[in-house]
Amino acid sequence: MKKTQQLSFALLCIALSFSANSGQFDQLLDSVSSQTSTTTTDTQAAATSVSALDMIPLLTSSLGVDKNQAEGGLGSLFGYAKEQLSSTESSQLSSALPGLDSLVGMAPKVEATSEQQSGIGGLLSTAAQYNDSLKGIDQLNQQFQALGLKPEMISQFANTAMQYLNSPQGQQAGALLKQGLSTFL
């Protein structure tokens, strides 16, 4: 019986101590709860955002290109897409995909060549003299070649970018990229 009384007394002391300090416990619980929800919100925001520069490692691993080729090729591709869009749509694409403008700046600079090229590249260059849409495609082709990439890689870069943007967060950018690349997709 003595042990039961001691246990009851200990529980009574704990209960009284808890009720006297319940305001402090509530504050502690609120503090922990708000920190947890802030951390969760920040983590969710970081996990749900898309960035143009986040595509670089994806391209290097999936296509076997180096970092400079990934940056230049993706910059060329998005540069071409932005030129095909209206100025409003181009701005929307840049807003929807942070880092895009710096990526476009990484595209190699190429000049129209007057020398004769052979094969399909030569035909494309000749046709580009008469058609603005083909000029852009020819420039994109030359940019990829300047990076040491075959023209066939353009569609692989486009498909990889579209896959990356195939998410609720990348939906707007994906739709605008698809629209900008519609002339050759």
Q: What is the pLDDT of residues 78-97, one digit of tens each?
A: 999 999 999 999 999 999 99
Residue 167 lies in a domain: yes
Looking at the structure, tell me whether residues 134 and 62 fall in a common domain.
Answer: yes
What is the overall mean pLDDT for the chain? 76
Residues 168, 110 within the same domain: yes
Is the model's pLDDT at 103 over the cut of 70?
yes
pLDDT 10s digits, 162-182: 999 999 999 999 999 999 999
The answer to whether residue 185 sits within a structural domain is: no
**pLDDT of 133 above 70:** no
Label residue 137 by pLDDT band (50, 70, 90). Answer: confident
**What pLDDT is attached to residue 117?**
53
Within this chain, do residues 119 and 154 fall inside the same structural domain, yes or no? yes
By mean pLDDT, which of 97-101, 109-113, 142-146 is the weakest? 109-113
104 within 8 A of 52, measured Cβ to Cβ: no
Which residues make Cβ contacts (< 8 Å) with residue 153, sequence separation at least 6? 63, 65, 73, 144
Q: For residues 89, 93, 99 and 101, what is the CA-based torsion angle, rounded to 10 degrees?
A: -30
Same domain (yes/no): 100, 22: no
**How confident is the model at residue 135, as a pLDDT?**
79
Is the predicted pLDDT of residue 113 greater than 60, yes or no? no
The residue-averaged pLDDT of 12-37 equals 44
What is the per-residue pLDDT for 107? 96
Q: How far apart are CA 103 and CA 26, in angstroms?
A: 49
* Whether the predicted pLDDT of 58 surpasses 60: yes
Quick one: 14 and 79 in the same domain? no
Count of domains observed in the chain: 2
**Same structural domain, 93 and 160:** yes
Its domain, for residue 7, covers 2-48
- Give yes or no for residue 34 having a pLDDT over 80: no
30 plus 73 within the same structural domain: no
Cα dist from 52 to 14, 93, 101, 113, 130, whole Å? 57, 10, 9, 30, 33
Predicted confidence band of residue 19 (pLDDT cuts 50, 70, 90): very low
Judgement on whether residues 11 and 57 belong to the same structural domain of the protein: no
Pick the range with the lowest mean pLDDT from 102-106, 122-126, 130-134, 156-160: 122-126
Tell whether 33 and 95 lie within a shared domain: no
The predicted pLDDT at position 143 comes to 96
Domain match, 13 and 75 both: no
Q: Are residues 33 and 111 in the same domain?
A: no
